[in-house]
Amino acid sequence: MNQHDASGRSTKSILLFLGVMTLVFVVGVSLIIFSAGDGIDISGDKVALVRVEDIILDAEKVNGQLKKWSEDDSVKAIVLRINSPGGAVAPSQEIYQEVERAAAIKPVVASMGAVAASGGYYVAAPCKVIYANPGSVTGSIGVIMNLSNIEKLMEKIGMSPMVIKTGKFKDIGSPYRPMSEEDRKLLQSVANDILATFIEDVAKGRGMEPDYVRSLADGRIFTGSQAVDLKLVDKLGNLRDAIEAAARMAKMDPDPDVVEDEERRGLLKYLLDEDASLALSRVGLTSGFYFLWPNW
Q: Do the beta carbons of residue 100 and residue 67 sit within 8 Å? A: no
Helix (H), strand (E) at residue 84: strand 75-84
Q: Do the beta carbons of residue 54 and residue 117 sit within 8 Å? A: no
Q: Is 201 exposed, middle or buried (0-12, 13-18, 19+ CB in 10 A)?
A: buried
Q: Is 59 exposed, middle or buried (0-12, 13-18, 19+ CB in 10 A)?
A: buried
Residue (of 226, 203, 26) closest to 138 by Cα position: 226
pLDDT at 17 over 80: no
What letter does residue 75 receive in the DSSP assignment? Answer: E
Q: Do the beta carbons of residue 134 and residue 223 sit within 8 Å? A: yes
Q: What was the pLDDT predicted at 33? A: 43
Query: Which range is least confidently modeled, 19-23, 188-192, 206-210, 280-284?
Result: 280-284
* Selected catalytic residue, list 92, 111, 118, 136: 118
Cα 250 to Cα 21, 128, 172: the distances in Å are: 41, 12, 50
| Rg of the chain in Å (alpha carbons) | 26
Q: Do the beta carbons of residue 62 and residue 95 sit within 8 Å? A: yes
In this structure, how many other beta carbons lie within 10 angstroms of the beta carbon of residue 153?
Answer: 12
Q: What's the mean pLDDT when you consider all of the chain?
A: 85
State the amino acid at position 268 in one-letter form. L
Q: CB-hemisphere CA count at 13 Å for 146?
A: 15
Q: Let me know if 118 is a catalytic residue.
A: yes
* Selected catalytic residue, list 165, 168, 170, 269: 170
Q: How far apart are CA 64 and CA 263, in angstroms?
A: 13
Domains of the chain: 43-143+214-292 (3.90.226.10)
Sort strands 75-84 and 108-117 into parallel, antiparallel or unpaired.
Answer: parallel
Q: Let me know if 174 is a catalytic residue.
A: no
Summarize pLDDT for 261-270 with one digit per residue, the tens.
976 544 444 4
Summarize pLDDT for 128-164 with one digit per residue, the tens.
999 999 999 999 999 999 888 888 888 889 888 889 9
Q: What was the pLDDT predicted at 39? A: 41
Summarize pLDDT for 163-201 with one digit per residue, the tens.
999 999 999 989 889 999 999 999 999 999 999 999 999
State the amino acid at position 222 in one-letter form. F
